[in-house]
């Protein structure tokens, strides 16, 4: 059985940047004449990225996940790292007011979507976000628009009566283009011409396209990444539409050798929050499974 890795897979620039920033924060010291220098306490507001294994490793290293700013100790210049999905503006204001050092690890693509939402609102439009209700990135984008924001993921989510005379659209960076197209087409069908800011991340699009292309050439697909990761979930959905033998796993020990008996090939892809070492571990075990099946046949 051949094991093939998707051309584009794994951690994107925004995730790698967030991990680099938290590493630098963890190495920062706080010094005074009385006590000398000690490492600053570092916390992330929510999970830094949507990868439970990475978050658990950060916790083991003393980098704690906090649900709110109030949970973070603000003594001795504690550091609060803003997750890659971004936060609402008032969160940063609260952190700074409490005396925390704020490290903004918001993905630059998310920052671009936040700015687009704010600009559309400033132009007097009602703002519609194509994305998952309740997702932290969507909440941060919506907050930057200010006021009431409509969040939808599919045409059926649209209200019968659209608010405002003009509608501006921004997109959760990890959405599939088909989701945006479906919303735009429905609005046009109603006679509404929306002002679209396509803020889908190019890295996300490359991962989706290469995963779909690979799925057409193999007997099964393995998608590696957090189950709480929206972009990994979408990769799974895209691959499943091509081959029902698609398996979403977080770690190699979830692989079941029985899935691959009688197969000639399996493809591997991974979400944008999945480090390379996690992908390598899955590929290595799949290769061992392939050798075992070949020896037993």
**pLDDT recorded at residue 76:** 52
Domain boundary, last residue among 149, 168, 196: 196
**Looking at the 3D structure of the chain, how many domains does it have?**
3
**Full domain range(s) for residue 34:** 13-108
Is the pLDDT confidence value at 180 over 90? yes
CB atoms within 10 A of CB 123: 11
pLDDT digits (tens, 9 = 90+) for 42-91: 999 999 999 999 999 999 998 999 988 988 865 556 899 999 999 999 99
**pLDDT recorded at residue 30:** 54
CB atoms within 10 A of CB 159: 8
Compute the half-sphere exposure of residue 81: CA atoms within 13 Å on the CB side of its CA.
29
Among all chains, which residue has been given the structure tokens 């197969």? 263
User: Cβ(208)–Cβ(180) under 8 Å?
Assistant: no
As a whole number of Å, the end-to-end CA separation of the chain is 12
**pLDDT recorded at residue 87:** 93
- The partner residues of 38 in beta bridges, in order of sequence, read 30
Of the pLDDT bands very low, low, confident and very high (cuts 50, 70, 90), residue 18 is very high
CB atoms within 10 A of CB 142: 23
Residues written for the chain: 297
- List the structure tokens of 296: 């037993």
Q: Reduced to 3 states, what is the DSSP secondary structure of residue 8?
A: coil
Q: Quick one: 207 and 171 in the same domain?
A: no
| 227-256 average pLDDT score | 95
- What CATH number did the domain enclosing 61 receive? 3.40.50.11270
Domain boundary, last residue among 196, 223, 254: 196
Active site residues: 137
Q: Quick one: 159 and 214 in the same domain?
A: no
CA distance 251 to 282: 7
Q: Quick one: 151 and 217 in the same domain?
A: no
Q: Quick one: 188 and 206 in the same domain?
A: no
Among candidates 150, 139, 231, 234, which has minimal Cα distance to 194? 150
């Amino acid at each position: 059985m051949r094991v093939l890795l998707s051309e584009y897979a794994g951690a994107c620039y925004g995730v790698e940047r967030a991990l680099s920033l938290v590493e630098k924060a963890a190495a920062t010291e706080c010094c005074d004449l009385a006590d000398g220098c000690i490492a600053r306490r570092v916390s992330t507001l929510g999970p830094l990225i949507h990868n439970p294994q990475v978050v658990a490793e950060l916790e083991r290293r003393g980098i704690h996940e906090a649900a709110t700013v109030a949970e973070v100790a603000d003594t001795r210049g504690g550091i609060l790292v803003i997750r890659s999905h971004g936060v609402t503006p008032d969160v940063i204001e609260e952190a700074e007011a409490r005396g925390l050092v704020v490290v903004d690890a918001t993905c630059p693509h998310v920052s671009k979507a936040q700015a687009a939402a704010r600009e559309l609102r400033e132009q007097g439009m009602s703002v519609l976000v194509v994305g998952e209700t309740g997702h932290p990135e969507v909440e941060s984008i919506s907050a930057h628009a200010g006021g009431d924001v409509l969040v939808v993921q599919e045409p059926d989510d649209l209200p019968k009566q659209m608010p405002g005379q003009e509608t501006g659209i921004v997109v959760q960076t990890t959405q599939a283009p088909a989701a945006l197209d479906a919303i735009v087409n429905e609005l046009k069908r109603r006679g509404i011409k929306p002002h679209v800011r396509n803020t889908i991340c190019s890295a996300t699009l490359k991962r989706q396209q290469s995963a779909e292309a690979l799925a057409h050439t193999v007997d099964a697909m393995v998608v590696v990444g957090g189950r709480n990761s929206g972009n990994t979930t979408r990769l799974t959905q895209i691959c499943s539409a091509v081959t029902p033998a698609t398996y979403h796993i977080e770690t190699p020990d979830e692989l079941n050798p029985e899935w691959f008996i009688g197969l000639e090939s399996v493809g591997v892809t991974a979400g944008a929050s999945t480090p390379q070492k996690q992908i390598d571990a899955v590929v290595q075990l799949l290769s061992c499974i392939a050798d075992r099946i070949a020896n037993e046949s």
